[in-house]
Each structure stands twice: as structure tokens, then as C-alpha cells.
Amino acid sequence: MIKTLSQRLLGPVTLVLLVLTFWLGLWVTPPDKIQGNLARMLYVHPAIAWVALYVSFGTAAIASALYLWQRTRSVVMDRVAYCAMEVSTVFIILTLITGSIWGRPTWGVWWAWDARLTSTAILGLFELAYLALRRANDDPELRARRCAVFAIIAAINVPIIHFSVDWWNTLHQGATVFTENGNLLVHGIMLWTLFISLFAFTLLFFWLLRARYRVEVLRAARYDVALDEALAQRRREGVR
């Protein structure tokens, strides 16, 4: 009962938090002293990037690792990895789009071959390659194993993205909330709005993952039914 209630509340709670985020971000929080109203992208872009790089791709990588581990191998893990990777691809694209919108007035260009931007785009290409690999083999077990290995290899790029602003001189700013010494860079209602946006977009990912997983289960069920019908038809033809 508790599980069913939480599933029913996931969508409405996510919607309320997203509306709250946009209301606070657009009308309640003050403009930044330097960037002015452009700083309101702080309540959208970091949250989308957080979901793309850590939450959704992290879910896909962990599910892939669990599939490769013999004790936890199951079709559920494979489906979770696949569905999470699809959602992560959408968030990666949104990350690059919102980053370009923020970067154009800040840097003067829509795109620069910056270390963080480039490594993020490379991760997006890895995700598209993963989705293509899913369609390259009809053997479910072989496909799942190859995709799981590929996802774990692609995960090497995530720490590169994370530390790129520290390892190289980049246009992209460093830590948004905390400095290296742990000092806060964002305060008051701006900080609370940022945290709400992170939570809201995280819940949005889990809502999308749940919806996509249900679609995948239904698709697999229809495929099994169609396969059984095709085999039955062939047997009837053999009898004749």
C-alpha cells in the first residue's frame, strides 16, 4: 500500500515542485549583481546537468554493473539500464541546450570547445552509441551483456566531466554552490530555490524512468505474444 501510494504521489509531487521552482526562479528570487536576470538559469541548467550526468547516467551504469554481476543478473536490471540511458540522453541534450543559452550572453558564443562542454558532448555521443548498440543484436542476453559493458566503459567520462574545470583552464565556471574551502557561494532564497530545483528534476527523472520502464515491459510482452503467434502459425503450416 505504501509503495502504491508513493507511486501515485510521484507525479503530482514532481509537478508541484517544478511549478514551485519556476515560480521562485522567475518571480521571487532577486537578480544577480553581476549577471542580472540571466542568473535565473541557475535554477534550471545545473539541475538538468545533475540529472543527466549523475542521477540518470549513474542509474544506468549501476544497473549495468548489477546485470554483469552473476548474483544480481536479471532482465529487470537490463531494462532499468536501457530506460535510464534513454532518459539520460534527453537530459544530456537539454544540458547542452540550456548551457548554450546561458553561455551565449556570458561568453559571447553559443559553443566553445571547452573541456567541460566537449566532454559532456562526448558522453552524449556515447549514450547514442549505446542506444544504437541495443538495436545491433537480436539475442537478448548478448545484447544486454554488450550494452552493460559499454555503459561501464562510458562511465569513465563522468569523472572527467566533473573535474574538467579543475584539471584545465576552461570557460565554464567552477563550483556553483560551494568553494574548495566549503564556503557558500549562493545564499538565502536563491540557495533554497536551487535545492528545490535539484530535488524537482531528480523526481522528474524517476517519474520518467518509471513511465519508460512500464512502456518497455508492455513492448516486451507484445513481442512475446507476437512471437508465440508466429511460432504457432508455423506449426500449423507444418502440420498441413
Whole-number pLDDT of residue 229: 54
- Asked if residues 63 and 84 have their Cβ atoms less than 8 Å apart, the reply is yes
Q: Which of 170-178's residues contact partners 24+ apart within 8 Å by CB, and which partners?
A: 170/114, 170/115, 170/116, 171/103, 171/107, 171/112, 171/114, 171/117, 172/114, 172/115, 172/116, 172/117, 176/42, 176/46
pLDDT at 32: 74
Over the stretch 63-97, which tens digit does the pLDDT of each residue have? 999 999 988 889 999 999 999 999 999 999 999 99
Q: What is the pTM of this model?
A: 0.84
Structural domains of the chain in order of their starting residue, each with its CATH number:
15-210 (1.20.120)
> What pLDDT digit, counting tens, does each position of 196-213 carry?
999 999 999 999 999 999
Note the pLDDT of residue 187: 66
Residues in the chain predicted with pLDDT less than 70, given as ranges, are 1-7, 171-187, 223-240
